[in-house]
């Protein structure tokens, strides 16, 4: 073995070790290299066990057999497997000191997990993903047992679920699977990825292959993924149900462990499954030694690690997929990348080797699709749980990666040195400027320019010859004119002589006979001749002239120095920003394709995606079933972080020069772009057409039901009219009751004939209707809707004033929905939409406040009542505030309500409250605009037009006297 080979192997081992230590440092917050190395050694490379050792209080390091930790390269691949040889006979002591209960429980759990792996061959990663999926499916099935107010259900009217023209299709949230929707939609909107999935064909000998674990998992999943993508392309539905694909994922793993899994791991695993599925096909289609895998070509790149390890230089090429970046401590994406590409030191397992080590990463091959995984979670050691980092992180729409390429490393190193020099100089200038802006030696500091200005104002104030105290004392009466107590009292109160009472014996007796009443605003009045500001007692004209001259000159000098410093700082910032703007460093552009957003905290939240529509040149927001037009400004607000609970956790960039990624497929004969179902292979086209036929049938059945219902209502009205006429005729004729009655068959025949007659008559009436008659009928319908809306509004506002917010909310919701329908026909057809929106919003905020106060009480009954309010009245109605996102105040109100409940996550509370909160929060944080089932519209009383006008005028007058804040 040569020296170079030895160095490369050591470098690979040290690289893996460095990654392990960095993960430990991030999770635990411990920076001591020796402690981290000891944990690495004791845990045999098991990250979870190492975290348990470091975070458990008074943890006893378990004695384990000596193990080996090394890396085995997979043939034909650059990924590595960590291998540890731990004996199966480890015994966990559960009878020791109570202080070590947590440590022993963790150790037992880890031992069970390791034993499960040895018995089943399923990794911890796969088990964890399985747990997330099982929870999602379980919640979806549990929905069937919930009350109608908690269920996310499809609208009974299929027209509400009908796709509009060629609008993008949403994905139904089948129970805490919004992360699935965000990831799948981002990949689906990569046209090249979509083509690969749709045109995927399983190996021709798939039936003959041994059904190992991967094939049991990959082939059924690829089948369901193709079906799902085909529906997203050609369905007539507004959204589709991904349950079958999720079920495949759930069935692929079995585990009873209770650990949670980060969603980014799902993306990792999904790409691995796709890679494995395409690898089988690639191996069948080519005889090459290393067949090309389209998934690897699309998502995987390579970088060169160059550095020094214990004094020896090394170079090592590695493959990467999703590139992880730390967020904490950085302000933009380039800063994160710079930190990730340059590693200062590599800690060694052997503490005696103190030689300096470091390395740089240089991209040698970038994938067409470059995904950055933003690490926004860290472990809070004090609280013993992970927390989300909400720091602001900016990222551009176009990212130039030339500075990170291996071919530009010499130029980049020169520029990095120049930037380092400029930043050092910038630090000096900023410190110097800070001395001007925060001047002083005490705890309170002020801008030096202001200090000089205040000194000038003091010197220029009108001088007085006596102190303020002496001036007040001089206004007091002589000591001999009043009893001894009176001057002391008046001196303390500061009463001028003009306000003192008469000093006659009678008045003195009167004063002595009553208690002194302190009146601060009358007895402490400042004398009129006392200066309003402090001023020097003695200053000559010459002194003032010299002082003013000096202060003016000094202030001018300071202003000039401050301005020069600020200009120099701005100039350096600009120079740093333009350092990589020359033509040679903007040759590798990557355009932002998708941003995956997480809203909430580390243990609860909701996911959605912003995806760029390259055909329409605009951003779209994919939020479960809701797919809406968006903008860069909205994306920035939701993704950068810093002031809300929402922030980006994954950025997907695509090579701006690789047009095949987003290029539409063309018809070979016409040259026109293929759209919709035309892009599908025959088997998927048949599948989609069958589904569309089922949906068309559902629409027809709905139309038939409505027609039948209308006919029944008309028949019922006609029958009532005939019965009324018959009773009148019978009464007039006075026929005896014993006359022959019609038989059942006669009645059936008569009803059939009457039905035909009524239908024929109605048809003729409809044909004979003039336009004026039709308009009059429509007007009456709209007026009836307007009266109902007015009654809903009046009752809702009256209940709001009585603080009966639940009743008020139900009426205001109906008023808003009816009014919106009226206004869609004309701007003057309904009431003031802003007024109804305001009180609907205020009602929800009041109810949220009541529910939060009940939850804070901690009493079981009160807590349950609070959660009932949230589940039955707040959560079902939130989508009404989020739909179309047309009202900024509504969105802010929703954020306020969510933030109130998210704030409880960082507080100490009883375990039962924590459990209820954790169960409830995902419902509240689900940002889907799908309308949830809620109560039927309340019954309306009957009002005359006069009474309706009086009540409306009365409530409007009452509202005008009570201004609505913020409306």
- The pLDDT tens digits of the residues spanning 438-461 come to 998 888 889 999 999 999 888 888
Residue 385: in which H helix or E strand, if any?
A: strand 385-388
The answer to whether 891 and 881 have CB atoms below 8 angstroms apart is yes
The 3-state DSSP class for residue 231 equals helix
Once rounded to an integer, what is the mean pLDDT over residues 157-170?
Answer: 88
Q: What's the full length of the chain, in residues?
A: 967
**Among 254-263, 567-576, 617-626, 831-840, whose mean pLDDT is lowest?**
254-263
Return the higher-pLDDT residue of 423 and 925: 423
Instruction: pLDDT band for 262, please (50, 70, 90 cuts).
Output: low
Once rounded to an integer, what is the mean pLDDT over residues 423-431?
Answer: 94
Q: Which of 119-123, 151-155, 486-490, 932-936 has the highest mean pLDDT?
A: 151-155
Q: Residue 113 has what pLDDT?
A: 46
Render the burial of 609-622: b for 16+ CB within 10 Å, e for the rest.
bbbbebeeeebbbb
Instruction: pLDDT band for 767, please (50, 70, 90 cuts).
Output: low
CB atoms inside a 10 Å sphere around CB 127: 20
Q: Helix crossing, 833-857 with 771-801: angle to 10°?
A: 40
3-state SS record for 865-898: HHHHHHHHHHHHHHHHHHHHHCCHHHHHHHHHHH
Q: Residue 206 has what pLDDT?
A: 56
Q: Which of 297, 294, 301 is nearest to 279 (CA)?
A: 294
The CA distances from residue 576 to 41, 389, 456, 571, 581, in Å, are 43, 27, 40, 9, 10
Q: In which region does residue 44 sit, left (phi positive, over 0), alpha (psi from -120 to 50) or beta (all else)?
A: left
With tokens 């429509």, the residue in question is 778
Share of the chain above pLDDT 70, in %: 64
- The pair of structure tokens assigned to 822 is 């009226």
* 326 class by beta-carbon count within 10 Å (0-12 exposed, 13-18 middle, 19+ buried): middle
Q: Which of 361, 593, 598, 838 is labelled catalytic? A: 598
Could you report how far apart the first and last alpha carbons of the chain are, in Å? 79
Does the pLDDT of residue 768 top 70, yes or no? no
Instruction: pLDDT band for 732, please (50, 70, 90 cuts).
Output: low
- What is the spatial distance between Cα 105 and Cα 335, in angstroms, rounded to a whole number? 41
- What is the spatial distance between Cα 487 and Cα 19, in angstroms, rounded to a whole number? 82
Q: Residue 887 has what pLDDT?
A: 67
C-alpha of 250 from chain center:
25
Angle at 963 between CA 957 and CA 965, to 5 degrees: 150
- The pair of structure tokens assigned to 577 is 């920003």
Whole-number average pLDDT of the chain: 74
- What is the spatial distance between Cα 239 and Cα 158, in angstroms, rounded to a whole number? 11
* 912 class by beta-carbon count within 10 Å (0-12 exposed, 13-18 middle, 19+ buried): exposed
Instruction: pLDDT band for 82, please (50, 70, 90 cuts).
Output: very low
The 3-state DSSP class for residue 681 equals coil
- The pair of structure tokens assigned to 804 is 């009966």
Kind of pairing between the strands at 170-171 and 239-240: parallel
- What is the spatial distance between Cα 561 and Cα 445, in angstroms, rounded to a whole number? 19
The answer to whether 405 and 362 have CB atoms below 8 angstroms apart is yes
Kind of pairing between the strands at 358-365 and 342-343: antiparallel
- What is the spatial distance between Cα 815 and Cα 880, in angstroms, rounded to a whole number? 13
Over residues 193-251, the pLDDT tens digits come to 999 999 988 776 655 555 566 666 788 888 899 999 999 999 999 999 998 887 776 66
Q: Which of 134-138, 348-352, 721-725 has the highest mean pLDDT?
A: 721-725
With tokens 């509004």, the residue in question is 793
Instruction: pLDDT band for 4, please (50, 70, 90 cuts).
Output: very low
- The pair of structure tokens assigned to 332 is 């933009």
Return the higher-pLDDT residue of 833 and 210: 833
Examine the residue annotation and report whether 178 is marked as an active-site residue of this protein: yes
- What is the spatial distance between Cα 670 and Cα 730, in angstroms, rounded to a whole number? 77
3-state SS record for 166-195: CCCCEECCCCCCHHHHHHHHHHHCCHHHHH
- What is the spatial distance between Cα 355 and Cα 348, in angstroms, rounded to a whole number? 9
Does the pLDDT of residue 763 top 70, yes or no? no
Q: Residue 960 has what pLDDT?
A: 75
Q: Which of 361, 593, 606, 838 is labelled catalytic? A: 606
Instruction: pLDDT band for 336, please (50, 70, 90 cuts).
Output: very high
Instruction: pLDDT band for 271, please (50, 70, 90 cuts).
Output: confident
The 3-state DSSP class for residue 460 equals helix
The answer to whether 128 and 202 have CB atoms below 8 angstroms apart is no
The answer to whether 587 and 437 have CB atoms below 8 angstroms apart is no
Over residues 670-729, the pLDDT tens digits come to 777 788 888 899 999 999 999 999 999 999 998 888 888 888 887 787 777 777 666 655
Listed in sequence order, the residues at least 6 apart from 852 whose beta carbon sits closer than 8 Å to its beta carbon are 866, 900, 901
Q: Residue 252 has what pLDDT?
A: 52
Residue 346: in which H helix or E strand, if any?
A: none
The answer to whether 241 and 184 have CB atoms below 8 angstroms apart is no
pTM above 0.85, yes or no: no
Give me the long-range contacts of 663-669 (CB less than 8 A, separation at least 24). Answer: 663/191, 663/192, 664/191, 664/615, 665/191, 665/195
Examine the residue annotation and report whether 598 is marked as an active-site residue of this protein: yes
Over residues 701-715, the pLDDT tens digits come to 988 888 888 888 877
The 3-state DSSP class for residue 475 equals coil
Instruction: pLDDT band for 421, please (50, 70, 90 cuts).
Output: very high
């Amino acid at each position: 073995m040569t020296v170079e080979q030895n160095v490369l192997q050591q470098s690979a081992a040290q690289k893996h070790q460095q990654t392990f230590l960095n993960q430990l440092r991030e999770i635990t917050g411990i920076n001591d290299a020796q402690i981290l190395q000891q944990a690495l050694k004791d845990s045999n490379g098991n990250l979870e066990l190492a975290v348990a050792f470091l975070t458990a209080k008074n943890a006893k390091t378990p004695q384990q057999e000596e193990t080996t930790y090394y890396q085995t390269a997979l043939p034909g691949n650059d990924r590595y497997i960590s291998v540890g040889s731990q004996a199966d006979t480890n015994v966990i002591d559960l009878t020791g000191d109570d202080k070590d209960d947590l440590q022993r429980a963790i150790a037992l759990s880890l031992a069970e997990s390791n034993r499960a792996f040895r018995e089943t061959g399923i990794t911890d990663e796969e088990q964890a993903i399985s747990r997330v999926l099982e929870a999602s499916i379980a919640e979806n099935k549990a929905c069937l047992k919930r009350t109608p107010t908690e269920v996310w259900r499809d609208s009974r009217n299929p027209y509400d679920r009908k796709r509009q023209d060629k609008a993008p299709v949403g994905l139904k949230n089948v129970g805490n699977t919004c992360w699935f929707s965000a990831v799948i939609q981002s990949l689906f909107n990569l046209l090249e990825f979509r083509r690969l999935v749709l045109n995927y064909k399983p190996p021709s000998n798939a039936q003959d292959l041994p059904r190992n674990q991967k094939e049991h998992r990959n082939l059924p999943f690829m089948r369901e993924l193709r079906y799902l993508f085909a529906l997203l392309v050609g369905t007539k539905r507004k959204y589709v149900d991904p349950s079958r694909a999720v079920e495949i994922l759930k069935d692929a793993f079995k585990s009873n462990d209770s650990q949670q899994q980060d969603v980014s791991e799902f993306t990792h695993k999904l790409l691995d499954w796709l890679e494995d599925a395409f690898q089988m096909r690639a191996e069948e289609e080519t005889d090459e030694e290393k067949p090309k895998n389209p998934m690897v070509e699309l998502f995987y790149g390579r970088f060169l690690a160059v550095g020094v390890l214990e004094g020896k230089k090394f170079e090592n090429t590695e493959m990467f997929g999703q590139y992880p970046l730390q967020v904490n401590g950085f302000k933009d994406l380039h800063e994160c990348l710079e930190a990730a590409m340059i590693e200062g030191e590599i800690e060694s397992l052997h503490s005696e080797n103190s030689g300096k080590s470091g390395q740089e990463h240089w991209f040698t091959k970038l994938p067409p699709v470059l995904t950055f995984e933003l690490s926004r979670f860290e472990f809070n050691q004090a609280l013993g749980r992970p927390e989300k980092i909400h720091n602001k992180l900016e990222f551009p729409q176009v990212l130039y990666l030339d500075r990170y390429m291996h071919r530009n490393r010499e130029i980049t190193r020169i520029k990095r040195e120049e930037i380092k020099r400029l930043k050092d100089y910038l630090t000096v200038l900023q410190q110097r400027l800070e001395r001007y802006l925060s001047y002083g030696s005490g705890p309170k500091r002020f801008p030096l320019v202001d200090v000089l200005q205040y000194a000038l104002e003091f010197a220029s104030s009108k001088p007085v010859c006596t102190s303020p105290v002496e001036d007040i004392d001089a206004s007091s009466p002589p000591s001999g004119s009043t009893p001894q107590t009176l001057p002391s009292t008046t001196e303390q109160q500061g009463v001028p002589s003009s306000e003192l009472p008469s000093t006659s014996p009678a008045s003195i007796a009167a004063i002595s006979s009553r208690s002194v009443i302190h009146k601060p605003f009358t007895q402490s009045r400042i004398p009129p001749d006392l200066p309003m500001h402090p001023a020097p007692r003695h200053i000559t004209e010459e002194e003032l002239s010299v002082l003013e001259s000096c202060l003016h000159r000094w202030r001018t000098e300071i202003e000039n120095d401050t301005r020069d410093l600020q200009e120099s700082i701005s100039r350096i910032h600009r120079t740093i920003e333009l350092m990589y703007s020359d033509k040679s460093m903007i040759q590798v552009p990557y355009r932002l394709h998708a941003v995956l957003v997480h809203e909430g905290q580390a243990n609860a939240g909701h996911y959605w995606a912003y995806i760029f529509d390259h055909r329409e040149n605009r951003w779209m927001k994919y939020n479960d079933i809701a797919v809406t037009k968006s903008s860069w400004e909205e994306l920035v607000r939701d993704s950068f972080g810093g002031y809300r609970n929402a922030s980006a956790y994954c950025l997907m960039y695509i090579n701006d020069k690789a047009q095949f990624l987003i290029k539409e497929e063309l018809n070979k004969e016409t040259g026109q772009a293929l759209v919709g179902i035309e892009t599908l292979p025959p088997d998927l086209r048949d599948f989609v057409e069958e589904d569309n036929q089922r949906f068309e049938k559902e629409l027809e059945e709905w139309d038939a039901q409505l027609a039948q219902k209308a006919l029944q209502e008309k028949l019922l009205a006609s029958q009532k009219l005939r019965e009324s006429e018959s009773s009148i005729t019978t009464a007039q004729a006075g026929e005896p009751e014993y006359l022959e009655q019609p038989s059942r068959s006669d009645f059936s025949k008569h009803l059939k004939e009457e039905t035909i007659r009524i239908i024929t008559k109605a048809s003729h009436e409809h044909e004979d209707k003039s336009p004026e008659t039709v308009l009059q009928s429509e007007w009456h319908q709209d007026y009836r809707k307007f009266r109902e809306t007015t009654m809903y509004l009046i009752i809702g506002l009256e209940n709001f004033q009585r603080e009966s917010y639940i009743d008020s909310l139900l009426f205001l919701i109906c008023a808003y929905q009816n009014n919106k329908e009226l206004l869609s026909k004309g701007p003057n057809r309904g009431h003031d939409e802003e007024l109804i929106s305001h009180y609907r919003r205020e009602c929800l905020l009041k109810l949220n406040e009541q529910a939060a106060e009940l939850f804070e009480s901690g009493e079981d009954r009160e807590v349950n009542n609070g959660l009932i309010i949230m589940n039955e009245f707040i959560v079902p109605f939130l989508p009404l505030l989020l739909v179309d996102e047309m009202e900024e105040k509504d969105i802010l109100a929703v954020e306020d309500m969510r933030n109130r409940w998210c704030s409880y996550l960082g507080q100490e509370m009883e375990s039962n409250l924590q459990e209820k909160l954790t169960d409830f929060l995902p419902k509240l944080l689900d940002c889907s605009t799908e309308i949830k089932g809620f109560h039927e519209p309340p019954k309306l009383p009957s009002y005359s037009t006069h009474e309706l006008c009086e009540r409306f005028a009365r409530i409007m007058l009452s509202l005008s006297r009570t201004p609505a804040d913020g409306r």
